[in-house]
Protein backbone atom coordinates (compact mmCIF):
# COMPACT_ATOMS: atom_id res chain seq x y z
CA UNK A 1 0.00 0.00 0.00
CA UNK A 2 1.26 3.46 -0.79
CA UNK A 3 1.47 5.87 2.15
CA UNK A 4 -1.09 8.61 2.61
CA UNK A 5 -4.42 6.77 2.38
CA UNK A 6 -7.14 7.55 4.90
CA UNK A 7 -10.75 6.57 5.56
CA UNK A 8 -13.32 9.30 6.08
CA UNK A 9 -16.94 10.16 5.34
CA UNK A 10 -17.98 9.84 1.68
CA UNK A 11 -20.83 11.34 -0.33
CA UNK A 12 -20.92 8.10 -2.39
CA UNK A 13 -21.37 5.71 0.52
CA UNK A 14 -20.93 5.99 4.29
CA UNK A 15 -17.12 5.87 4.27
CA UNK A 16 -14.54 6.12 1.53
CA UNK A 17 -10.81 5.88 0.97
CA UNK A 18 -9.02 9.15 0.21
CA UNK A 19 -5.45 10.02 -0.65
CA UNK A 20 -3.49 12.71 1.15
CA UNK A 21 -0.88 12.85 -1.61
CA UNK A 22 -0.79 12.90 -5.40
CA UNK A 23 -0.87 9.45 -7.03
CA UNK A 24 0.52 9.17 -10.58
CA UNK A 25 -1.35 7.20 -13.26
CA UNK A 26 -0.30 3.53 -13.29
CA UNK A 27 0.59 3.37 -9.58
CA UNK A 28 -0.33 0.19 -7.72
CA UNK A 29 -2.23 1.92 -4.93
CA UNK A 30 -3.30 -0.91 -2.64
CA UNK A 31 -3.85 -4.67 -2.67
CA UNK A 32 -7.39 -5.95 -2.16
CA UNK A 33 -6.58 -8.47 0.51
CA UNK A 34 -8.37 -10.76 2.94
CA UNK A 35 -9.38 -14.37 3.48
CA UNK A 36 -10.16 -16.41 0.37
CA UNK A 37 -13.36 -18.46 0.05
CA UNK A 38 -15.18 -20.26 -2.72
CA UNK A 39 -18.26 -18.38 -3.93
CA UNK A 40 -20.49 -21.07 -2.38
CA UNK A 41 -18.72 -20.77 0.99
CA UNK A 42 -19.05 -16.98 0.92
CA UNK A 43 -22.73 -17.16 -0.11
CA UNK A 44 -23.46 -19.42 2.85
CA UNK A 45 -21.32 -17.46 5.28
CA UNK A 46 -22.93 -14.12 4.39
CA UNK A 47 -26.45 -15.16 3.38
CA UNK A 48 -28.07 -12.97 6.04
CA UNK A 49 -25.82 -9.94 5.59
CA UNK A 50 -26.88 -6.89 3.61
CA UNK A 51 -23.34 -5.52 3.20
CA UNK A 52 -20.25 -7.54 2.35
CA UNK A 53 -16.83 -6.68 0.99
CA UNK A 54 -16.46 -9.68 -1.29
CA UNK A 55 -14.32 -9.38 -4.40
CA UNK A 56 -14.55 -12.03 -7.13
CA UNK A 57 -11.18 -13.30 -8.31
CA UNK A 58 -12.65 -14.52 -11.59
CA UNK A 59 -11.86 -18.20 -10.93
CA UNK A 60 -14.78 -19.00 -8.61
CA UNK A 61 -13.12 -17.73 -5.45
CA UNK A 62 -13.83 -14.52 -3.59
CA UNK A 63 -11.72 -12.36 -1.30
CA UNK A 64 -13.43 -11.20 1.87
CA UNK A 65 -12.05 -7.66 1.95
CA UNK A 66 -10.09 -6.72 5.01
CA UNK A 67 -8.38 -3.41 5.49
CA UNK A 68 -8.25 -0.08 3.72
CA UNK A 69 -9.09 -1.32 0.20
CA UNK A 70 -12.55 -2.46 1.29
CA UNK A 71 -13.49 1.21 1.72
CA UNK A 72 -12.86 2.11 -1.92
CA UNK A 73 -16.27 2.97 -3.38
CA UNK A 74 -17.76 2.31 -6.80
CA UNK A 75 -17.92 5.04 -9.44
CA UNK A 76 -19.10 4.99 -13.05
CA UNK A 77 -16.23 7.44 -13.75
CA UNK A 78 -13.47 5.92 -11.60
CA UNK A 79 -9.91 7.07 -10.99
CA UNK A 80 -8.71 3.49 -10.39
CA UNK A 81 -9.29 -0.01 -11.69
CA UNK A 82 -8.53 -3.45 -10.33
CA UNK A 83 -5.91 -5.69 -11.90
CA UNK A 84 -4.82 -9.25 -11.33
CA UNK A 85 -1.08 -9.09 -10.74
CA UNK A 86 0.16 -12.60 -10.20
CA UNK A 87 -2.18 -14.15 -7.65
CA UNK A 88 -3.08 -10.78 -6.14
CA UNK A 89 -5.76 -8.18 -6.83
CA UNK A 90 -4.43 -4.62 -6.92
CA UNK A 91 -6.17 -1.28 -7.17
CA UNK A 92 -4.25 0.74 -9.79
CA UNK A 93 -4.60 4.43 -10.68
CA UNK A 94 -6.01 4.90 -14.23
CA UNK A 95 -5.23 8.61 -14.18
CA UNK A 96 -3.29 11.03 -12.02
CA UNK A 97 -5.14 11.42 -8.72
CA UNK A 98 -4.80 14.64 -6.77
CA UNK A 99 -4.35 14.91 -3.02
CA UNK A 100 -7.72 14.89 -1.23
CA UNK A 101 -9.54 12.84 -3.90
CA UNK A 102 -11.64 9.83 -3.01
CA UNK A 103 -10.36 6.63 -4.62
CA UNK A 104 -12.95 4.78 -6.72
CA UNK A 105 -13.18 1.91 -9.16
CA UNK A 106 -15.99 0.33 -11.12
CA UNK A 107 -17.32 -2.67 -9.20
CA UNK A 108 -18.69 -4.43 -12.31
CA UNK A 109 -20.86 -6.69 -10.16
CA UNK A 110 -21.97 -9.95 -11.74
CA UNK A 111 -23.40 -13.33 -10.91
CA UNK A 112 -25.46 -11.90 -8.09
CA UNK A 113 -28.90 -12.73 -6.77
CA UNK A 114 -29.34 -9.13 -5.64
CA UNK A 115 -32.31 -7.41 -7.21
CA UNK A 116 -30.59 -4.08 -7.31
CA UNK A 117 -27.18 -2.61 -7.04
CA UNK A 118 -28.09 1.03 -7.39
CA UNK A 119 -25.25 3.44 -7.94
CA UNK A 120 -25.00 6.70 -6.05
CA UNK A 121 -21.62 7.86 -7.38
CA UNK A 122 -22.95 11.22 -8.50
CA UNK A 123 -20.88 11.23 -11.69
CA UNK A 124 -22.30 12.84 -14.82
CA UNK A 125 -21.47 9.46 -16.44
CA UNK A 126 -23.46 7.49 -13.84
CA UNK A 127 -25.19 4.39 -15.29
CA UNK A 128 -27.41 4.03 -12.21
CA UNK A 129 -26.10 0.56 -11.36
CA UNK A 130 -22.96 -1.10 -10.03
CA UNK A 131 -23.64 -4.16 -12.22
CA UNK A 132 -21.30 -4.75 -15.16
CA UNK A 133 -22.57 -4.02 -18.66
CA UNK A 134 -22.67 -7.79 -19.33
CA UNK A 135 -24.71 -8.39 -16.16
CA UNK A 136 -27.17 -5.64 -17.14
CA UNK A 137 -27.62 -7.35 -20.55
CA UNK A 138 -28.00 -10.79 -18.90
CA UNK A 139 -30.68 -9.46 -16.57
CA UNK A 140 -32.52 -7.78 -19.47
CA UNK A 141 -32.53 -11.09 -21.42
CA UNK A 142 -33.78 -12.93 -18.34
CA UNK A 143 -36.58 -10.37 -17.82
CA UNK A 144 -37.64 -10.70 -21.49
CA UNK A 145 -37.75 -14.51 -21.17
CA UNK A 146 -39.81 -14.26 -18.01
CA UNK A 147 -42.22 -11.80 -19.63
CA UNK A 148 -42.69 -14.10 -22.64
CA UNK A 149 -43.25 -17.08 -20.36
CA UNK A 150 -45.83 -15.12 -18.35
CA UNK A 151 -47.72 -14.26 -21.55
CA UNK A 152 -47.78 -17.88 -22.72
What percentage of the chain reaches a pLDDT higher than 70?
Answer: 97
C-beta of residue 45 within 8 angstroms of C-beta of residue 37: yes
Residue 143: per-residue pLDDT: 84
Phi then psi for 133, rounded to 5 degrees?
A: -60, -40
**Beta-strand relationship, 73-74 and 36-38:** unpaired
Alpha-carbon distance of 18 to 99, in angstroms, equals 8
The CA-based diameter of the chain, rounded to the nearest angstrom, is 60
Domain 5-108 class in CATH: mainly beta
Range with lowest mean pLDDT among 5-9, 33-37, 100-104, 139-143: 139-143
Give the start-to-end residue ranges of the domains of the chain: 5-108
**Beta-strand relationship, 73-74 and 104-105:** parallel
- Using only C-alpha atoms, the chain has a radius of gyration, in whole angstroms, of 17
Residue 113: per-residue pLDDT: 61
Alpha-carbon distance of 67 to 26, in angstroms, equals 22
**Top-ranked range on mean pLDDT: pick from 59-68, 120-129, 132-141:** 120-129
Residue 112: per-residue pLDDT: 63
In order, the DSSP letters of 21-48 are S-B-TT-EEEEE---EEEHHHHHHHTTT
pLDDT digits (tens, 9 = 90+) for 72-104: 999 999 999 999 988 889 999 999 999 999 999
- With 80 as the cut, is the pLDDT of residue 116 above it? no
pLDDT digits (tens, 9 = 90+) for 30-59: 999 999 898 889 888 888 877 788 888 878
pLDDT digits (tens, 9 = 90+) for 102-112: 999 999 887 66
Amino acid sequence: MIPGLMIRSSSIHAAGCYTTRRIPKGTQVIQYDGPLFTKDEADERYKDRFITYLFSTGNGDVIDGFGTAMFINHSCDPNCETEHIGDEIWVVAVRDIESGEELTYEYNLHDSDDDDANCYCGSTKCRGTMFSADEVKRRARKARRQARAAQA
